[in-house]
Amino acid sequence: MISLKGVSKIYNMGKGTEVQALRDVDLQVREGDFISITGPSGSGKSTLLHILAGLDTPTGGEYLFEDLDVARTSDRVKCHLRNRKIGIVLQDFGLLGDDTALENVALPLIIGGVRRREAKSRSARVLEEVGIAELSGKRVNELSGGQRQRVAVARALVQDAKLLLADEPTGALDSGSASALMDLFERLNAGGLTIITVTHNPAVAERTPVSYSIVDGVIHSERGGE
């Protein structure tokens, strides 16, 4: 599904100062994989996830998604990739607090031109899939961290994404909610969803069949990877 070869990312800070966030990253992901990438703050996790999502472009190396050369493709194709194949849960969730869970999940569909009625029924189905059907009419501001995280996952999956990318999904959760979220990820993965999560939490890494570590932008296979 994914092949990264020699991917690097250098941020140019101006005045000749550069920050190298990723160094020569090789990563192969097969459909159905469930992968964690663990590393300390500042190690390059979010940068890597943003590149995988097509939100950011590597400064070197090659990124293929299903044989599509992502770095060299048009913005329109990248948008399509993000809208239809890849679901991303960002570190701060990015939900609209005054809107209901259902409205938040339906938003990408409505922006994509799906009729309201169909958008609502599809969103309700995904909320059920992530285990919070009964909260669909609640405003996001009224939900707990764990419940919000499920809304964010539902929104990422509502367009039938085949790859879920999650940035520190348990970062704001207590250990019980974190473990419940990993149960959900396991269930979604058993249903065929490919998942890559980056985290600084070793408890997350213990729960995934494949795990990598990342330190100073360099990735190492820890378990199950190549």
Ligand X SMILES: Nc1ncnc2c1ncn2[C@@H]1O[C@H](COP(=O)(O)OP(=O)(O)O)[C@@H](O)[C@H]1O
Q: Could you list the residues that contact Mg ion (CB under 5 A)?
A: 45-46
Tokens of 146: 């764990």
Total of residues contacting ligand X (CB under 6 A): 11
User: Among ligand X, Mg ion, none, what binds residue 44 when CB lies within 5 to 8 Å by partner kind?
Assistant: ligand X
Q: Name the binder of 23 from Mg ion, ligand X, none, CB < 5-8 A by kind.
A: none
Contacts of 117 (CB under 8 A, 6+ apart): none
Asked if 58 contacts 9 with a C-beta cutoff of 8 angstroms, the reply is yes
Taking the complex as a whole, how short is the minimal distance between the CB of residue 217 and ligand X, in angstroms? 7
Q: Which is nearer to ligand X, 6 or 97 (CB)?
A: 6
Binder among 36, 47, 208, 213 for ligand X (CB under 6 A): 47
Closest CA to 89 of 140, 44, 53: 53
* Residues whose CB falls within 8 Å of the CB of residue 221, separated by 6 or more in sequence, listed in order: 212
CB closer to ligand X, 97 vs 202: 202
Rounded CA separation 191/184 (Å): 11
Q: What are phi and psi of 121, to 5 degrees?
A: -70, -35
The yes or no reply on residue 43 touching ligand X (CB under 6 A) is: yes
The yes or no reply on residue 42 touching ligand X (CB under 6 A) is: yes
Name which of 73 and 91 has its Cβ closer to ligand X.
91
| Closest residue to Mg ion, based on beta-carbon distance | 46
Q: What mask, x for binding ligand X by CB under 6 A, covers residues 11 to 40?
A: x-------x-x-----------------x-
Q: Which is nearer to Mg ion, 45 or 207 (CB)?
A: 45
3-state secondary structure of 142: helix
Closest contact distance (angstroms) between CB of 91 and Mg ion is 6
Interaction partner, residue 207 (Mg ion, ligand X, none; CB < 5-8 Å by kind)? none
Q: Comparing C-alpha atoms, which of 81, 30, 15, 92 is closest to residue 51?
A: 81
Nearest to 4 by CA among 21, 31, 27, 37: 27
Contacting range for ligand X; rule: CB under 6 A; set: 42-50, 72-80, 103-111, 131-139: 42-50
Answer positive or negative: Cα dihedral of 119, 32, 153, 179. Answer: positive
User: Toward Mg ion, which CB reaches closer, 88 or 132?
Assistant: 88
Q: Which of residues 167-226 bind ligand X (CB under 6 A)?
A: none
65 neighbors 85 (Cβ within 8 angstroms): yes
Applying CB under 6 A, which residues contact ligand X? 11, 19, 21, 39, 41-47
